[in-house]
Amino acid sequence: MQVDWTIYSTFIGAALVMLLPRESKTLIRWVSLLTGVISLWIGLTAYFEYNTWIHAGNAGFWHIKDLAWIPSLGAKYHLAVDGINLPLIILNGFVCVTGVLFSWNIEERVKEFFAFYLTLIAGVYGVFMAMDIFLLFVFYELAIIPKYFIIAMWGSTRKEYGAMKLVLYSFLGSALVFVGVLALVYGAGGKTFDILELAKNPLSPDLQRWIFPLLFVGFAVLAGMWPFHTWAPTGHVAAPTAASMLLAGVVMKLGSYACLRAGMLVCPAGFEEWKWWVAWIAVIGIVYGAAVALVQKDFKFIIGYSSVSHMGFVILGLATLNLRGMSGAILQMFSHGIIASLLFAVVGRMVYDRTHTRQLDELGGLRKVMPFAFWTFVIGGAASMGLPGFSGFVAEINILIGAFAMSPWLALGAGLSIAITAAYILNALHKVFFAEEEHAGSGGHGHGHGGTGESRWHLPPITLPEIIASVILMALLVIIGLYPSIMLDMISANVELFLKGLPQ
């Protein structure tokens, strides 16, 4: 089965969920899980096939579908995969499956939840595979609306505000992209929307100079680039767990991926001109996100701002425009997708759903009550800090090497944030999972009795779906960390092509 079936299978899954009676909640969950597993399976099959092909010394695109769609306009239904988007496709599959598992406890309006959820997933698959800029834009906007409903219906803190903010930011970003796409296509004669065709005949540098920022900034809004990041923390915090996982894990990658594919590829000269701006803004974002995370009092806001910081690494890596930096950036997209999903799962599902608070001051001593959550957070946090042996290290070290080649100052700025990251992760770890004695005797906050020797928390145990999902994500972090070539080889082979000029 071709890899484009990831899109169709999730759409079919969403439609199926819509048709099921709303009372049969368990069935709906199982159908969603099965849909996720099928799409992941399709993605993985393609991934390993492509991996073998790469190791045989090849590189380039596999064109999955290239059909005329709207000839009157010049838009095509063109899907293709290569070493750059395949890791993201399987990332989407993993996040989808684990997200369903972490949402197993949703009881209210289950049917609508999973229908919107799977639609969003399908849109994301589409963006990752689209090779026609119109098609990419269609999938990109398709992914906006489900986010609104998922957050506004099932979210928590200031959910309607967070949802609307997120949607309007995304829509404003895509408005910039819209203008950019029209100018790009009709500046080039208006014959085609195909990204590879457009890349073959680039516009004059004068046009690229102002079209590139439109495309890049428009997409970077969704990647959480500073100073357009403010939707990200509020949106992540307001969202229910599975949606935070999707937002930080996958949707932010839509932005950075599209920057690469639909921004840098079609406007190389424009990028060349703006790359120092992009790099420095990325560094500001990295340091700013980490610094703000350090002073947060809300557990989920910490992870939200850390996403802004880590996505800054992705943009910095892309801006370096060298093999190490860009390969690192793409690996970072995958790695951060997994890390963010894992951390949001700990915060949202394991901690918040049980304790009903996310304030660091109110939490504490959870290590004894939920050792599993503790260890999950330790592993996720270690990967987030960039500890060797985890995927975060491989990605960030490559980005830093690439940035160093561009300018040592960039690498210095970005490197600084790694220390801050360690500080806020350890701080959160301490306050949430240790720090029990500070609360002992204070009477708790209506949660416990504060007696000595026994924990003040009486929480439901971690469920099996949560354990399975966490183990999958943790395993991925370790596998990529110990054996990075399983992903890095195909990425670098294609980045090399990209840098040489046109990938074919």
Binding site for another protein (CB under 8 A): 69-73, 112, 134, 137-139, 141-142, 144-145, 148-149, 152-153, 160, 164, 167-168, 171-172, 175, 178-179, 182-183, 185-187, 189-190
Q: Please, what is the minimum distance in Å from the beta carbon of residue 274 to another protein? A: 19
Q: What are phi and psi of 72, to 5 degrees?
A: -60, -30
Tokens of 303: 């992870």
Q: Please, what is the minimum distance in Å from the beta carbon of residue 462 to another protein? A: 30
Give the nearer residue to another protein in terms of CB position, either 167 or 247. 167
Q: Please, what is the minimum distance in Å from the beta carbon of residue 175 to another protein? A: 5
Give the nearer residue to another protein in terms of CB position, either 21 or 446. 21
Q: Please, what is the minimum distance in Å from the beta carbon of residue 15 to another protein? A: 12
Give the nearer residue to another protein in terms of CB position, either 168 or 502. 168
Own/partner pairs for 323-326, CB < 8 Å, 24+ apart? 323/402, 323/492, 323/495, 323/496, 323/499, 324/398, 324/399, 324/401, 324/402, 324/405, 325/398, 325/399, 325/401, 325/402, 325/403, 325/405, 325/406, 326/402, 326/495, 326/498, 326/499
Give the nearer residue to another protein in terms of CB position, either 197 or 396. 197
Q: Please, what is the minimum distance in Å from the beta carbon of residue 432 to another protein? A: 31
- What are the CA-CA distances from residue 462 to residues 10, 185, 241, 264 (Å)? 28, 52, 15, 44
Residues 6+ apart with CB under 8 A from 411: 400, 401, 403, 404
Residues 6+ apart with CB under 8 A from 97: 33, 36, 37, 40, 469, 472
* Distance of alpha carbon 225 from alpha carbon 213, whole angstroms: 13
Give the nearer residue to another protein in terms of CB position, either 70 or 412. 70
Burial of 28 (0-12, 13-18, 19+ CB in 10 A): buried
Tokens of 287: 């340091």
Give the nearer residue to another protein in terms of CB position, either 188 or 316. 188
Q: Please, what is the minimum distance in Å from the beta carbon of residue 172 to another protein? A: 5
Tokens of 77: 């239904």
Place of tokens 């092509």: 497
Place of tokens 């910490």: 302
Give the nearer residue to another protein in terms of CB position, either 183 or 478. 183
Give the nearer residue to another protein in terms of CB position, either 111 or 367. 111
Q: Please, what is the minimum distance in Å from the beta carbon of residue 12 to another protein? A: 15
Give the nearer residue to another protein in terms of CB position, either 135 or 480. 135
Q: Please, what is the minimum distance in Å from the beta carbon of residue 328 to another protein? A: 33
Start-end of H helices in 295-407 = 299-320, 323-344, 353-355, 366-369, 371-385, 391-406
Q: Please, what is the minimum distance in Å from the beta carbon of residue 244 to another protein? A: 18
Q: 75 forms bridges with which residues in the sheet? A: 70
* Distance of alpha carbon 469 from alpha carbon 462, whole angstroms: 12
